[in-house]
Structure 1
Amino acid sequence: MELLSVPLKKPAEVDIAKPLKTLIQSNYQNLEADKLNAINEAISELNTLRNTAVWKVFDKQESGLELNYRYYDQLCSLEAKIPVQELQVPFKWKDAFDKGSIFGGRISLTLTSLAYERTCVLFNIAALQSCVAAGQGVDTDEGLKLAAKLFQQSAGIFSALKTLASATIQGEPTPDLSQDSLTALANLMLAQAQEMFVIKAIKDNMKELIVAKLCAQCEELYSEALRSMQRDTVRALWDKEWISQVAGRQAAMHALTMLYHSLVSKSNKAFGEEISRLQKAVELFKTAQSRASKPTLFQEYASRAARNLAEAKKDNDFIYNEIIPDINSLPGPGKAQLAKVLPMPAHLSEGFRDLFTALVPVAVNQALAACEGRKSELVNGEIMRLREATTAMNGLLSSLNLPAIIEVTASGDSLPPSLQEKASAVREKGGIGQLKDLIERLPELFTRNKEILDEAFRMLDEERDSDNQLRAQFKDRWTRTPSEKLAATFRANGEKYRTIINNATAADKVIREKFATHRHGLELLSMTADQLAKEIPSAGAGANSQASNSSAAQRLRSLMESVDTIKAERECIESELKSLTVDLKDRFLSALATEGVINEAAISLSEIGKVIGPLQEQVGETLARQQTLSADIREAHEKFVAESGVSTDQRDNMLSKLAAAYDVFTELQGYLQEGETFYNGLTEILLVFQSKISDFCFARKTEKEELMKDLTHESSRQAPVAVTPVIPTHHTSTTASAEPSASASAPSGMAPSPYPQQMQGIPVAGAYGSGGVAPGAGFTGYVPPPMPQGFNPYGTLPYPTAYTGFPPATNMMPPAYYGTYPGAYGGQHQQQPGAHQPGAPNPNNPMGW
């Protein structure tokens, strides 16, 4: 028995490992080393699985199904865990029905869309199911059972593809993925599945009425398949014998309906009806063989019908003499559909094992990133409050020449102990030379980042110019999405990066100016103790010692200890703020599983507040204490000056400037180190950004080459379609129905930083859904990787907000148009038995399978 199987789409070799690793590296920066290694191994396994599965189908063996089931399931799992719009892999698949032309070349489509890859893999799964089903032997129950199962699964997949393909491919798909093509294939698979039930019923010698009902339904399903296959949009797709074979099998199923219904008539002793139905059966068997060009098609049953007719006529002529009624006046047997469009399960493979368990769903990853951003914003705000307050306190002490003014020295010309400590600390940290080195490295770091970003824009400009040139050359035939549209998000985020670099450069200028202002003081502090002492103006002997024992001096010493205590406390608070962690992964996963969405703002703000709240209280408390402490210091200083008669002279001014220079040294050193870390981190991110654009340009280049190849071979593929010939009379339906045809049954500390405050806020992809992909999927939804987290003075710049968020001509004469053979039983009143009436098979338990 020759059943039809769907041809397979041919893929192109592609490496998904490198782009996928780049994507995960840029979006999952906080993964532990062991998890990252496991993911890299999973990516390599997926790449191997792909290269094996997509070619294994061409063996047309059942073993190829499980491989493709596994690959498809992994794609579904991966789609839910990565921002698929960022995956720049050009997936190329050729049309399943196009055999090319004499000049070479086949219709193909290349898209950088994981959903498109999944669609094509799913098409091949359905096609392979039809191949395996068609190759089963119908002589055994196992063969019939497997064939029926696979044909029904194939019908279900082709039906699902009608929605999936239209959502995945916004442009014109290859003909095999068109709506009309997928509808015809789904109808054909369902009809062939029903035929398996017919054969099973006949083999099991089930009641004639049941067989007749099954055959009547099968004839209707073949009629629907034939109508959908003969639509003008798809008729040229099929092999030349497809339509004739479907037309033949439709007529044969009608003939079998007549044959088995005649046996019901015979058992009811309605001999005239028996003869009428047998006459129609013999006629339909001949028509079926003629249409299919197979004289042996259902020959066994045709011979049986002829024998039964001869016997019935003989008995009627000699015994019964009943009038033979018109076939169109006879009732039909009813219909029973056991073949169903099987829905796709959650996982196609048996014992599905997710390779990417270390990755969380995209929605959870986005929620985690947003939560981290909120935490960083609050943490950085509290750190800046502490640093601004400490800077203000240092300024107050410097203006009052504290604590130097109250320190007791053996000689008036000796350095105060506090200044000695500060100078020693500056020398230990490298002195002014270390600051110079850091400042001189900034232009190099800036230039490196600028060159990376400039190269990224150069690639985008080159790709755009090439696209525009070809669009001007081919005009309306250049149908792909313009580069300007696809690269809009790339360019927007690139400009954001450029603004970040420019703002950081402005911050570098502020640092240079502050360095220049305090350069002399920094040079002095970098000297040895003896050299520094020589540079300090002399004071009157015993000037400080005379006032050192006053009550005001004692009070100031106590207040200076309080200042040191507050500074130490703030260092601890800042350290705790920087090390603050909030892990809401499980909460987000639970919310997604139970509610289907994640209310990130509500969950994050509540949980972050619980963790950061106590530290915020400590920050507020230390700021309040500073206000009281500052007032006490001013009051005590005024009293000290009044009691001691000490006034500001040249020496005091120098000591004050040196104290301020020390504060600036500490401030600049911290900012420069953080700035260098910022530039280095930005370099890594820009390299990923450049790599993304490189992948984008490569994918566009591949797409361009494929489109140019198609346009080059267009003339060789476009041949005029011949006019459909008039249907010969011997190819028309037999007796016209006197009643309307029944419709086919369809399947159903420091100064405020001049630099940016934080590096969070980079956009993350919108929650992934199974909906459509924008034109040129894989390009338009690009989202840059997140910036480094934690306090960073280079990061106050606002970043992009989240994005919510890609008929063939033939040289063959078209087949003749065949009628759908509604025939007598297709249009007769179907007298269906009631629920408890004998002879009605249970569609939920077809023959005990």
Structure 2
Amino acid sequence: MSKNLDKSLPALEVLYRYYDQISILETKIPSHEVQIPFKWKDAFDKGSIFGGKVSLTVASLGYEKACVLFNIAAMQSQIASLHRISDTDEELKSSARLFQLSSGIFGHLKSAASVMGGQEPTPDLNPETLSALSTLMLAQAQEVFVTKAIQDKMKDAIVAKLCAQAEELYADSMRQLQKDTVKHLWDKEWLPTVAGKQAAFLALGHFFQAQVNATNKKIGEQIARLSHSIETFKIAQQRSGNPNFFSDYANKASRLLAEAKKDNDFIYHERIPESGSLAAIEKVQSARLAKPLPVGERLSTNFKDLFDELVPVAVHQAMASCDVRKTEMTNSRIGQLREATQLLNSILASLNLPHALEDSQSSSSEVPQSLIEKSQTIVDAGGSAGLNQLINEMPELVQRNKEILDESERLLREEEESDDQLRGQLKEKWTRTPSSKLNGTFKTNAARYREIINNALTADEVVRGKFNSHQQAIEVLGGGQAALLQFLPRDGSSMKAQGSQAARDALKQLMIQVETLRGEREVLEARIKNMNFDLKSPFLSALAQDGAIDEPNLSTELLGHAFSPLERQVKDSLEKQESLVVAIQQNSDEYFGRRDLTKDNASQRDQVMRQLAEGFDAFTDLQNNVREGTKFYNDLTQLLLAFQNKISDFCFARKTEKEELLKDVTRSASNVPAQQPVPPARPPPPSFNASAPNPYTSAPAPLPNQQPPQPTGYNPYAAYAPVPPPQGYPYPVQQMGYAPHYYPPQPQQPQQPPHQ
């Protein structure tokens, strides 16, 4: 046990947390991929004297867990021993529980041979050693229950039975401690103390059973049991080598014996039976309160996983694949809703609703209320100038991504050219692997990133073209009610009422339902975007249960369960729109008559109102496009920065190897003695325009060995699905003579404390 930990419950909690942490790590780190050697010494440090192992080193987290558990059990027994001498109920209860926990752990460790890697365990982890320790802890727990029963002044018959069970447990413990294979391990006072306690609890049982006899007026049996108790107390003192061992009870038994003999001589005159003929004290299972407590899944009551985000590679890959599927489903469902909303807007615009409905009941000198509301929405959003500014910022984001990708490709190109040049000069002396065979993955991903950027530029042109087409209408709406009044013609609407008041009321109600439907879709779209569920636990469970993950089927099941309620809502929304459109067209024809606003016979006012309605719809779509496009480029920036870092690491490692190989070639030619290599300086990152805004400072780029987030496509960018993150570092650094300082250090052999 580490001497840095005192014998206290807070110190024990430290061990609990460490054990819980490595237990979780064991489920996350593949044993065949990470080999960390753990060295532990024999707890009793007597193995070498009798031919056993003094220490053992095993590259297994399971072995580390077993050794830490041994230490936990040892610490529990030490704290329990301190609490046992207390008179308080709480500490006695704590003592009994800790002894039982310790017994459970030692029993659990008897199966620890499976984590030894086929090696012989140190003597402390031998199954017979652990069995003896488990029984000894149990006997001490039962002793605490006896102490508690006496302190609580329980009935003598109950205390006698508890003592009988304690005697039985100490007898079993003594038999196991005396086995030839383990008896040399114990300190010299262990066996005498255990043997003394076995005799002492036998004597104590007879002592309390004698009190039962006295109550029942069985004076002869009382005298016989007290006599036998006194003799057995003496045996206990002889075995333990301590003349004061249980002396209080021995003295009390002597006093009671004298009183009982006196009463028998003068009053009862009962025959005193021989001690050998006395009935054994009844042993019932209920009197054995001490039982090994099982090792729980978690020992700490206040545990927080330090590596909560760490998962096995297989789980990480499965989660990434499932996340891609989730993104595709999310974009698909949102796309359905947006396409349906655009169709609804175009139908309403073709019918000039709801503006014509308002205009039919007002004078041509007024602006329909629905247009006023649309105008206020655009004003609040910054108007045409605000949207135009956001669109103009997009090229700067694209340029930054292009610069990062250009720098990455330059590093790869220059490294490969340098390698080819030296290979051409030195011929067969240049023996290292050609760069062209190592950088293929980087080149492939660079080409795919280049394609993404080019496609996104095309999407930007679509956005810009849509804005230009509707710029006039957006500017008018952004000018407020005064601009609308000036822009709208006053020639009167051609869509005057021809139908009944009932048709008009129905249309008004339908327009309210349209607005309700739009609001519901906004909420539904937000729920779809923000829909999250636990992926890690199902994949971890599948890996633990089957040893592999059937990602496609499991992902389909998880996504189906998560999206099922939302898909029903999407379907209901689309069906609701179909019925709304039919009702709107029927009531519009009845109220206005059949009119086509695209024909020349439509009034100029009707056509302008339709133009403004389309401009508002375009403004709403463009806002979403620009917002999502900005996120798209910022996410792509993180991917490209991670990609560039990997390439920079690759090039630096290749440069280091090149310098070493050049020195070897030079020494071979001139027979110059080898000198200590000096690693070259790491190349600096590419420089950017300091005056340009940095849109991704709020989201720092991931480290090279982290999984960067996938950028989310958007409409019209949604068609260009992002490529997966670049593959792992392809160059075997461990084959090089020198590893750069910024690579993760190789695991060192830990200096673990011995078990005790």
1:374 Cα deviation after fit: 1.4
Partner amino acid, structure 2, of 1:796:
A
Q: What secondary structure does 2:474 align onto?
A: helix
Are 1:393 and 1:630, in contact at CA under 8 Å, matched by a contact in 2? Answer: yes
Q: Which consecutive aligned stretches of 4+ in structure 1 deviate over 4 angstroms post-superposition? A: 76-82, 143-150, 353-358, 543-549, 643-647, 715-719, 789-793, 798-805
Correspondence 1:603 to 2:554: yes
Are 1:555 and 1:636, in contact at CA under 8 Å, matched by a contact in 2? Answer: yes
Q: Report the Cα distance in structure 2 between the residues aligned to 1:377 and 1:643, rounded to whole angstroms.
A: 42
Task: Give the structure 2 partner of residue 465 of structure 1.
Answer: 417
Are 2:470 and 2:615, in contact at CA under 8 Å, matched by a contact in 1? Answer: yes
Are 2:710 and 2:722, in contact at CA under 8 Å, matched by a contact in 1? Answer: no
Give the counterpart of 1:552 among 497, 503, 512: 503
Q: What secondary structure does 1:407 align onto?
A: helix
Give the counterpart of 2:339 among 385, 388, 393: 388
Partner amino acid, structure 1, of 2:48:
E
Are 2:350 and 2:596, in contact at CA under 8 Å, matched by a contact in 1? Answer: no
Q: Report the Cα distance in structure 1 between the residues aligned to 2:385 and 2:325, rounded to whole angstroms.
A: 38
Are 1:407 and 1:548, in contact at CA under 8 Å, matched by a contact in 2? Answer: no
Q: Report the Cα distance in structure 2 between the residues aligned to 1:393 and 1:354, rounded to whole angstroms.
A: 50
Correspondence 1:531 to 2:500: no
Correspondence 1:378 to 2:326: no
Correspondence 1:142 to 2:48: yes
Task: Give the structure 2 partner of residue 447 of structure 1.
Answer: 399
Task: Give the structure 2 partner of residue 794 of structure 1.
Answer: 717
Q: Deviations over 1:414-471 (max 9, x none)?
A: 1000001101111111110011101111111111110110000000001111111111
Q: Deviations over 1:119-156 (max 9, x none)?
A: 9x98xx99xx9xx9xxxxxxx98389589978x999xx
Pick which of 570-579 and 794-803 moved more.
794-803
Are 1:521 and 1:657, in contact at CA under 8 Å, matched by a contact in 2? Answer: yes
Q: Report the Cα distance in structure 1 between the residues aligned to 2:28 and 2:432, rounded to whole angstroms.
A: 27
Are 2:411 and 2:651, in contact at CA under 8 Å, matched by a contact in 1? Answer: yes
1:783 Cα deviation after fit: 10
Task: Give the structure 1 partner of residue 653 of structure 2.
Answer: 699
Q: Deviations over 1:364-416 (max 9, x none)?
A: 11111111111221121111000000000000111111001111555322100
Task: Give the structure 1 partner of residue 445 of structure 2.
Answer: 493
Q: Report the Cα distance in structure 1 between the residues aligned to 2:26 and 2:657, rounded to whole angstroms.
A: 24
Partner amino acid, structure 2, of 1:438:
L
1:625 Cα deviation after fit: 2.0
Task: Give the structure 2 partner of residue 425 of structure 1.
Answer: 377
1:793 Cα deviation after fit: 5.5
Structure 1 residues 800 and 415 mapped into 2: Cα distance closer, same or farther (>3 Å)? Answer: closer
Are 2:506 and 2:587, in contact at CA under 8 Å, matched by a contact in 1? Answer: yes
Partner amino acid, structure 2, of 1:648:
A
Q: Report the Cα distance in structure 2 between the residues aligned to 1:690 and 1:643, rounded to whole angstroms.
A: 62
Correspondence 1:502 to 2:425: no
1:577 Cα deviation after fit: 0.8
Structure 1 residues 789 and 694 mapped into 2: Cα distance closer, same or farther (>3 Å)? Answer: same
Instruction: Report percent identity of matched pairs.
Output: 41
In structure 2, the gaps of 5 or more residues are 1-17, 60-118, 120-303, 674-703, 733-756
Question: If the length of structure 2 is used for normalisation, what is the TM-score?
Answer: 0.51
1:539 Cα deviation after fit: 3.4
Q: Report the Cα distance in structure 1 between the residues aligned to 2:552 and 2:562, rounded to whole angstroms.
A: 15
Task: Give the structure 2 partner of residue 521 of structure 1.
Answer: 473
Structure 1 residues 145 and 456 mapped into 2: Cα distance closer, same or farther (>3 Å)? Answer: farther
Correspondence 1:637 to 2:583: no
Correspondence 1:656 to 2:607: no
1:567 Cα deviation after fit: 1.2
Task: Give the structure 2 partner of residue 332 of structure 1.
Answer: none
Q: Report the Cα distance in structure 2 between the residues aligned to 1:625 and 1:710, rounded to whole angstroms.
A: 77
Are 2:596 and 2:602, in contact at CA under 8 Å, matched by a contact in 1? Answer: no
Q: Report the Cα distance in structure 2 between the residues aligned to 1:683 and 1:799, rounded to whole angstroms.
A: 12
Q: Report the Cα distance in structure 2 between the residues aligned to 1:794 and 1:644, rounded to whole angstroms.
A: 37
1:594 Cα deviation after fit: 2.2
Task: Give the structure 1 partner of residue 428 of structure 2.
Answer: 476
Correspondence 1:583 to 2:583: no
Q: Report the Cα distance in structure 2 between the residues aligned to 1:516 and 1:141, rounded to whole angstroms.
A: 87
Task: Give the structure 2 partner of residue 302 of structure 1.
Answer: none
Q: Report the Cα distance in structure 1 between the residues aligned to 2:406 and 2:452, rounded to whole angstroms.
A: 14
Q: Report the Cα distance in structure 2 between the residues aligned to 1:715 and 1:793, rounded to whole angstroms.
A: 62
Task: Give the structure 2 partner of residue 166 of structure 1.
Answer: none
Pick which of 588-597 and 704-713 moved more.
704-713
Q: Deviations over 1:85-140 (max 9, x none)?
A: xxxxxxxxxxxxxxxxxxxxxxxxxxxxx98xx89x98xx99xx9xx9xxxxxxx9
Task: Give the structure 2 partner of residue 329 of structure 1.
Answer: none
Correspondence 1:401 to 2:352: yes
Q: What secondary structure does 2:456 align onto?
A: helix
Are 2:449 and 2:723, in contact at CA under 8 Å, matched by a contact in 1? Answer: no
Q: Deviations over 1:718-777 (max 9, x none)?
A: 99xxxxxxxxxxxxxxxxxxxxxxxxxxxxxxxxxxxxxxxxxxxxxxxxxxxxxxxxxx
Are 2:629 and 2:713, in contact at CA under 8 Å, matched by a contact in 1? Answer: no
Q: Report the Cα distance in structure 2 between the residues aligned to 1:610 and 1:447, rounded to whole angstroms.
A: 41
Q: Report the Cα distance in structure 2 between the residues aligned to 1:459 and 1:79, rounded to whole angstroms.
A: 39
Q: Report the Cα distance in structure 2 between the residues aligned to 1:396 and 1:600, rounded to whole angstroms.
A: 43
Are 1:493 and 1:784, in contact at CA under 8 Å, matched by a contact in 2? Answer: no
Give the counterpart of 1:562 among 478, 500, 513: 513
The residue correspondences of 1:251-290 to structure 2 (distance < 5 A) are none
Q: Report the Cα distance in structure 1 between the residues aligned to 2:565 and 2:398, rounded to whole angstroms.
A: 39
Q: What secondary structure does 1:713 align onto?
A: helix
Structure 1 residues 707 and 144 mapped into 2: Cα distance closer, same or farther (>3 Å)? Answer: farther
Aligned length in residues = 428
Structure ranking higher on relative contact order (CA contacts 8 Å, 6+ apart)? 1
1:516 Cα deviation after fit: 1.1
1:651 Cα deviation after fit: 0.3
Partner amino acid, structure 1, of 2:631:
T
Question: If the length of structure 1 is used for normalisation, what is the TM-score?
Answer: 0.46
Task: Give the structure 1 partner of residue 634 of structure 2.
Answer: 680
Partner amino acid, structure 2, of 1:142:
S
Q: Deviations over 1:497-523 (max 9, x none)?
A: 111111110000001111111111111
Q: What secondary structure does 2:443 align onto?
A: helix
1:628 Cα deviation after fit: 2.1
Structure 1 residues 546 and 691 mapped into 2: Cα distance closer, same or farther (>3 Å)? Answer: same
Q: Report the Cα distance in structure 2 between the residues aligned to 1:584 and 1:374, rounded to whole angstroms.
A: 12
Are 2:477 and 2:612, in contact at CA under 8 Å, matched by a contact in 1? Answer: yes
Are 1:412 and 1:544, in contact at CA under 8 Å, matched by a contact in 2? Answer: no
Are 1:559 and 1:629, in contact at CA under 8 Å, matched by a contact in 2? Answer: yes
Task: Give the structure 2 partner of residue 669 of structure 1.
Answer: 623
Q: Report the Cα distance in structure 2 between the residues aligned to 1:637 and 1:466, rounded to whole angstroms.
A: 74
Q: Report the Cα distance in structure 1 between the residues aligned to 2:453 and 2:648, rounded to whole angstroms.
A: 21
Q: Report the Cα distance in structure 1 between the residues aligned to 2:718 and 2:406, rounded to whole angstroms.
A: 21
Q: Report the Cα distance in structure 2 between the residues aligned to 1:355 and 1:717, rounded to whole angstroms.
A: 53
Give the counterpart of 1:626 among 564, 572, 577: 577
Partner amino acid, structure 2, of 1:794:
Y
Structure 1 residues 534 and 548 mapped into 2: Cα distance closer, same or farther (>3 Å)? Answer: farther
Q: Deviations over 1:614-638 (max 9, x none)?
A: 1111111211221222122222222
Are 2:495 and 2:592, in contact at CA under 8 Å, matched by a contact in 1? Answer: no
Q: Report the Cα distance in structure 1 between the residues aligned to 2:52 and 2:306, rounded to whole angstroms.
A: 29
The residue correspondences of 1:337-352 to structure 2 (distance < 5 A) are none
1:788 Cα deviation after fit: 3.1
Are 1:546 and 1:644, in contact at CA under 8 Å, matched by a contact in 2? Answer: no
Are 1:547 and 1:644, in contact at CA under 8 Å, matched by a contact in 2? Answer: no
Are 2:405 and 2:644, in contact at CA under 8 Å, matched by a contact in 1? Answer: yes
Q: Report the Cα distance in structure 2 between the residues aligned to 1:537 and 1:706, rounded to whole angstroms.
A: 82
